[in-house]
Amino acid sequence: MSLVSIQNLTRVFDVSKPWLNRVIERLPKRYLTAVSDVSFDIPAKTTYALVGESGSGKSTIGKMVVGLLPPSEGGVTINGIDLAIETDDDKIESVRSDIQMIFQDPYASLNPRWRVRDIIQEPVVARGGKATGLAERLLEQVGLTASDADKFPHEFSGGQRQRICVARALASEPKLIVCDEPTSALDVSVQAQVLNLMSDLKDEFGLTYLFISHDLTVVQHMADRIGVLYLGRLVEEASPDALFDAPQHPYTQMLLEAAPRMDGFGREVEPPKGEIPDPIDPPSGCAFHPRCPMAVAKCSAERPALKTVGESRVACWVAQGDT
Amino acid sequence: MSAEPVLSVRDLVVEIPTRGGLLRPVDRVSYDIGAGEILGVVGESGAGKSMTGNAVIGLLDRPARITSGEIWLNGERIDQLSMRELRKRRGKQIGMVFQDPLTSLNPLIPIGQQLTETIREHLPVTAAEARQRAIRSLEEVGIPAAAERIDSYPFEFSGGMRQRVVIALALCAEPSLVIADEPTTALDVSVQAQIIALLKRLCRERGTAVMLVTHDMGVIAETADRVAVMYAGRLAELGPVREVLTEPHHPYTSGLMGSTPLASKGQPRLHQIPGSMPRLGALPDGCAFNPRCPKAQDKCRQNPEPRIGPADPRAACWFPLGETA
């Protein structure tokens, strides 16, 4: 059974000007749809990766999965329990402690005035649990030493801080960890260390990851299944091999083509056309059609649904052969 | 490449005096960039990449200063010029593209005015001519409807468009050298591809020498002609990009290439370099890389690594890979 099931998840933000400006300037209310009708499942003990460019809604989905943001429509079910509508406190409490999150910036996500021991123990202590020796054990597990527990975050480098974040996420023995760009702020050699650590821990503790990243090479390495987002919608979902060998959605193809390659010496890329459209006023039909080299008349008129094509799911009329 | 390099840096040393002692963020670095050539400078944070670029255009923040070495630009020594003299050369002879396009443009001045100001500072043209030139340079960097958008403010442009404006600004006085410090790091993949293609095209057309500072090996592979790998303020390896990336001679370059997810394709674990880069205040004796190096021997721990330059061996290593077994 899937550990996480996301059904028709939608999040709309109100980005209107203050009411007085609206009255004086006669402006209507404005809404930004950050995530629109996204559905996918994450089976237990696998890594599901979300990729997309800025503004594609990947972090918003992550925040809704951990419950930092309520969805506007649809829901997130974890272990069969939807946190947004569940009323039984015991059930909510049990699911909550199963979810943890790792953030992008290890400088901003650790309290500079707390000792590392307190930071790591907090998820357990906050629930009234006993945490004697927990921080020391976890620190050794993530490749630091037990004596680091008495230090402050500023005494560590970026990679070491991210290890502390991982240790904190592990403290409450979660099943699901949402990682929002966990290595984007790190150098390549440190990134390799942290990614290896995350793979090892996944095997050791049977963890499930929702891995959010913009870096295609990292995603290819880590994920069991990849969802590609464009303007808040899932446009393609496939296994890493299928996605990188035979991308079906033109947007995925464009992303893969545009990504710099280590073996692309002197490669002349035809750079992608255009930019991501304004999410407040997205294009009609398929949101990618103004930039799409394969667009046909139907693309600007009707929005394609996410349908199974071969092993993947694709939202594109051309790939579905339905033009 | 022409015989006379546009930029020639020899044994450049930048030092920062601190309470804990003298730090050397750039330690005896030497390289050349020829006309029309793109030199990629890679390394991890703190390796001294940006500091080398800033030293060249005289933008070091005090107390950091150049303590020895020479910088030659178009046959003229520029490291000892006064701020005033250097100011004349910035913009005219050296253009600069920084990482964040929003902070390198003045938010309160329309972009057209920022361009014409730069043009008129360096070239003897009238205001009307300068405006025409500004429009032309905006068209050249691919800004649609340049004539109408010239009076827009920076906030009216998207991130990618802003970086195009910054490139137009860097190139408008037709400098012979452009220093691009992480020009695409703040941008999305698709926009990054656009900006890289633009930079490559403009430099090829004008024969501009480019120093491209980045941490992204993929960008380097696709863009640069030669690459300089930096580690702890020193040059670890310098050579043609294809050779350095496919057959690295320095163990650090080899480790760096191996730890990218692409190189470990199909393997469950990524190759990793043990440890982390030493702080400048606590550099090890001998070669700066020796505590992390799989091939380190006594010679590496006792003697500083050999220094390299344009004419010397490719890797600053006593036992370079690929040469001796």
Tokens representing A97 are: 């402690």
Largest CA distance in chain A: 65
pLDDT of residue B1: 43
What are B226's strand-pairing partners?
A: B39, B240
Compute the distance between CA of residue B58 and CA of residue B80 in angstroms, rounded to an integer: 10
Domain presence at residue A71: yes
What confidence category does residue A253 fall into, taking pLDDT thresholds of 50, 70 and 90?
Answer: very high
Region label for A321, one of left (φ > 0), alpha (ψ between -120 and 50) or beta (otherwise) = left
Residue A322 lies in a domain: no
Question: What is the SS3 string spanning chain A?
Answer: CEEEEEEEEEEEEECCCCHHHHHHHCCCCCEEEEEEEEEEEEECCCEEEEECCCCCCHHHHHHHHHCCCCCCEEEEEECCEECCCCCCHHHHHHHHCCEEEECCCCCCCCCCCCCHHHHHHHHHHCCCCCCCCHHHHHHHHCCCCHHHHHCCHHHCCHHHHHHHHHHHHHHCCCCEEEEECCCCCCCHHHHHHHHHHHHHHHHHHCCEEEEEECCHHHHHHHCCEEEEEECCEEEEEECHHHHHHCCCCHHHHHHHHHCCCCCCCCCCCCCCCCCCCCCCCCCCCCCCHHHCCCCCHHHHHCCCCCEEECCEEECCCCCCCCC
B269 vs B259: CA distance, rounded Å: 10
DSSP string, B196-214: HHHHHHHHHHHT-EEEEE-
Query: Which CATH number fits the domain that encloses residue A184?
Result: 3.40.50.300
**Is pLDDT larger for residue B235 or for residue A271?**
B235
| CB contact (8 A) between residue B260 and residue A187 | no
| Distance from C-alpha of A306 to C-alpha of B292, rounded to nearest angstrom | 48
Tens digits of residue pLDDT in A88-106:
888 888 888 899 999 888 8
CB contact B273 to A (< 8 Å): yes
DSSP B297: -
Confidence at B20, pLDDT banded by 50, 70, 90: confident
User: Do the domain assignments include residue A108?
Assistant: yes
Q: Could you read off the pLDDT of B170-189 as tens digits, one per residue?
A: 888 889 999 999 888 878 88
Q: Considering the domain boundaries, does residue A61 fall inside one?
A: yes
Which of A250-264, B66-80, B266-280 comes out lowest in average pLDDT?
B266-280
Check if B261 contacts A (Cβ < 8 Å): yes
Q: Does B144 touch chain A (CB under 8 A)?
A: no
Q: Which of A141, A107, A101, A99 is nearest to A149 (CA)?
A: A141
Answer whether residue B324 shows pLDDT above 60. Answer: no
What mean pLDDT comes out for the span B84-89? 86
The overall average pLDDT reported for chain B is 87
- Average pLDDT, integer, range B241-258: 90
Q: What is the pLDDT of residue B325?
A: 38
pLDDT per residue over B308-319, tens digit each? 877 777 888 888
> Cα B54 vs. chain centroid, distance in angstroms?
9
Residue B323 pLDDT class (50, 70, 90 cuts): low
Domains of chain A: total = 1
Interface residue A305 vs chain B (CB under 8 A): no
Q: Which residues of A touch B197 (CB under 8 A)?
A: 268-269, 271
**Smallest Cβ distance to B276: which of A190, A215, A262?**
A190
DSSP-derived 3-state class of residue B244: helix
Q: CA-nearest residue of chain B to A198?
A: B269
- CA A133, A135, A136, A138 dihedral sign is positive
Of B191, B241, B260, the CB nearest to A188: B260
Decide if A182 is inside a domain. Answer: yes
- Residue B38 bridge partners (DSSP): B210
Q: Is the pLDDT of residue B212 over 90?
A: yes
Q: Is the pLDDT of residue B306 over 60?
A: yes
List the single range of A189-193, A260-264, A295-299 with lowest mean pLDDT. A260-264
B300 vs A264, higher pLDDT: B300
pLDDT tens-place string over residues A279-313 = 888 888 899 999 898 888 889 898 999 999 888 99
Q: Which residue has the higher pLDDT, A322 or B238?
A: B238
Average pLDDT over chain A, rounded to whole?
Answer: 89
Which amino acid is present at B323? Answer: E
- Return d(Cα B186, Cα B197) in angstroms, integer: 16
Q: How confident is the model at residue A11 (pLDDT cuts 50, 70, 90)?
A: very high
CATH ID of B1-35+42-82+216-325, from 3.40.50.300, 3.40.50.2000, 3.40.50.10300, 3.90.79.10: 3.40.50.300
Domain ranges of chain B: 1-35+42-82+216-325
Instruction: Identify which of B319, B55, B57, B308 has the alpha carbon closest to the alpha carbon of residue B176.
Output: B57
Asked if the structure places residue A23 within a domain, the reply is: yes
**What average pLDDT does this structure show over A128-156?**
89
**Residue A247 is part of which domain span?**
2-260+274-314
Give the integer Cα–Cα distance in Å for B7 and B175: 12
pLDDT at B2 over 50: no
Q: Which residues on chain B are in Cβ contact (under 8 Å) with A255?
A: 189-190
Residue A179 and residue A162: Cα distance in Å, rounded? 11
Considering only CA atoms, which of B312, B260, B241 is closest in space to residue B11? Answer: B312
Does A266 map to a domain? Answer: no
